Amino acid sequence: MRITSALIDPALLDLPWSTPLEEWPAEHLVALPQGISRHVVRFVRLDGFVYAVKETGERIAEREYDLLRALERIDFPAVEAVAIVADRTDDAGEPLDPVLVTRHLQFSLPYRAVFSHTLRPETMTRLLDALAALLVRMHLTGFFWGDCSLSNTLFRRDAGAFAAYLVDAETGALRPSLSNGQRNEDVEIARLNIFGEALDLQAAELLDEAIDPEWVADEVIARYERLWHEVTFEQEVARDSRHEIEKRIRKLNELGFDIAEVSMSVGEGGRAYVRPKVVDAGHHTRRLLRLTGLDAEENQARALLNDLDAYRVDTDLTDEQQAAHRWLIEVFEPVVRAVPAGLRRKLEPAELFTQVLEHRWFRSEESGRDVGLAAAVQSYLKDVLVHRPDEQAVLGVDVPAVAVESV
């Protein structure tokens, strides 16, 4: 047996590598919701972390491992590659397929787990937005996916929306940039895959009757095209119209994209043409991390920053760093600590805080006055959070509950 690992974790040696993955004993496994896969996939727990273990071919495993490591280096939203285990043999000396090990993304769900009940149109809209944004970010990075689908994506809640993460990169390729033809090929693959997945949801009666599977496939592409145009199009402005340039940059920041530079050219009639160079998504995430050290999804970060800015105004603190430090200690951390230990597996802290803010707004609207943060926290814990399912990795569930597919 040969292990290539990004982490030095001796616990990897304790797993039953001489046994085919689909026959692994229950004591090694964790039951987690799983999407449709062409490979056998199992979840295991080692030293407090949950890992996904996938049997595949050696060259495919090596390629995907290298791609996931490259995406990690550029801070792309994807699962983290941990190890390749190759040269496996069973007890009789017969060769077994290599496996790729990745770290499970906490608080994430495959799309079929999100659709455990009939999918409403508004939920589908949020998922399609997240997938379209992931595809745009991917193409800006120069990554060709080759198998974009809901099945190959994990979703985390993001302040009323979803954030999407790539979970399968075996068909991908990372290049300096993509041509329009390469982008269009990726988009058409996405359209076909999503149409099939929507038909599957419809057959399982998990799709609202008002939702047409063909509309689902077309809509994610339409959302992708609108967002791609917004972040890449060349805008015509008057030569002295600095306001229009600043407005464009602010709009891209609001969409979550940072700008590295602006390319300007002058054409006939003195008209100026402006094309911003987008660096990456995560504008608000990076600002929140810089100010507070909190790592959050983009919409969560936007909501937290809005609350931080309001706190700064209320306290008349002119220094942004000082205000951020006091907000963290006096506002954010007390809300998180107020959650009883038995409920802390429900939501991650950033999502919890954004939901408390939203709950406070609704309660204040009902009461005709600001109910205050402390009262909103207690009301949210008692009336809302206690009834939510756990979204962190749930350990110890019977192994037969795990859906393992080999297609």
CATH architecture of 108-232: Orthogonal Bundle (1.10)
- pLDDT attached to residue 399: 34
pLDDT at 394: 38
Side-chain-facing half-sphere of 290: CA atoms under 13 Å: 8
Helices (H), 238-282: 242-254
Give the pLDDT of residue 397: 36
Rg (CA), the chain: 23
7 close to 82: Cβ distance less than 8 angstroms:
yes
Q: What tokens appear for 235 in the block?
A: 């805008």
The Cα 37–Cα 56 span in angstroms is 11
CB contact at 8 A, 68 and 169? yes
Q: Which residues contact 259 (CB under 8 A, 6 or more apart)?
A: 249, 252, 253, 276, 277, 278, 279
What is residue 379's predicted lDDT score, i.e. its pLDDT?
Answer: 93
For the chain, domain boundaries: 2-104, 108-232, 235-281, 316-387
Strand 2-5 with 80-86, pairing = antiparallel
pLDDT digits (tens, 9 = 90+) for 349-381: 999 999 999 999 999 989 888 899 999 999 999
Q: Which two tokens stand for residue 246?
A: 């600043």
In CATH, what is the architecture of 2-104? 2-Layer Sandwich (3.30)
CA distance 322 to 106: 31
Q: What is the pLDDT at residue 402?
A: 34
Q: Would 2-104 and 108-232 be classified into the same CATH topology?
A: no
Stretches in the chain below the pLDDT threshold 50: 393-407
**What pLDDT sits at residue 34?**
64
Q: d(Cα 146, Cα 170) in Å, to the nearest integer? A: 9
Strand partners, 273: 236, 265
User: What single-letter amino acid sits at 102?
Assistant: T
For residue 91, the model assigns a pLDDT of: 87
pLDDT at res. 260: 61
